[in-house]
Amino acid sequence: MQKFMRFPNWKPKAMTLSYDDAVIFDEKLIGIMQKYGLKGTFNVNGGMMSDKFYRRMDETTALKLYKEFRMEVAMHGYGHAFLGGCTGADIIKEYYEDKVKLEETFGEIMRGGAYAFGIYNDEIVNVLKTLGVGYFRTTECSGNFELPADWLRWQPTCRHAAANLFELLDSFLAESPDKSYNAKPRLFYLFGHSYEFEDNDNWERIERFCAKTAQYNDIWHATNAEIYDYVQAYDNLIFSAAGDKVLNNSATDVYLWLNKRKVLARANSVTEIE
């Protein structure tokens, strides 16, 4: 059986944003994202949610902002420590304390995050795995629209500051996986810091990016964790040997092309394939 994942409501493409450090300019960024229907994940340092830190949001403001607009809050290290060359204990402390603090503040289980300074190694990845974290973003850009091969070393497509940002966006928007039933889904993953727009006085860059994207309706706009969960649900589908049934044990409906036909594998059900 040939199978190809589609995002919810058969959308062949997805987009997600990832912004770090929970600075005060996230409010303006979220306003723009909201206006055009984009979604994303905000990577917060649990120990730095205070206006004592330069340009950071305090806990109350952060809680209100991210909750109100249903953006995902994710980990970024308790104190934004530079973990290169650090001991195992430092690594454990930095991420354990971050997870505890963010979960207590936001009332949700932390599912992923982004590496502070883009620093990671096998030891750091193992600590995150042990903490039950599913995905973490690096700062190494892929320049493509593939889903990650390794969720704990998730490479974004590009930074918003990339010189070829709009070229990449144009080629993403021009992709039409559904022209052929057997094409892989596509993902555009953008990252950065909202203070860069302020410092470079180029808010129009993200406004243009969002406005252009919003003209297309074949894109699923989701947070990092929503994409992660959805792909896990797809990867965990179980097919009968005869190819006439599919079991979806997850809590989410899964959309796919199977032998040139559309199949909707309902959550927590066995679906008969005609």
Enumerate binding residues for Zn ion (CB under 5 A).
20-21, 116
CB count in 10 Å sphere of residue 202:
14
**DSSP letter string, 128-191:** HHHTT--EEE-S----S-PPPSSGGGBPPSEETT-TTHHHHHHHHHH--GGGSTT---EEEEEE
Kindly state the smallest distance separating residue 247's Cβ from Zn ion, in Å: 41
CB count in 10 Å sphere of residue 57:
25
Nearer to Zn ion, 45 or 223 (CB): 45
Nearer to Zn ion, 66 or 257 (CB): 66
The answer to whether 157 and 137 have CB atoms below 8 angstroms apart is no
Nearer to Zn ion, 22 or 265 (CB): 22
* Locus of tokens 């199978």: 3
268: left (phi over 0), alpha (psi -120 to 50) or beta: left
Nearer to Zn ion, 21 or 94 (CB): 21
Kindly state the smallest distance separating residue 109's Cβ from Zn ion, in Å: 22
Kindly state the smallest distance separating residue 229's Cβ from Zn ion, in Å: 24
Kindly state the smallest distance separating residue 18's Cβ from Zn ion, in Å: 11
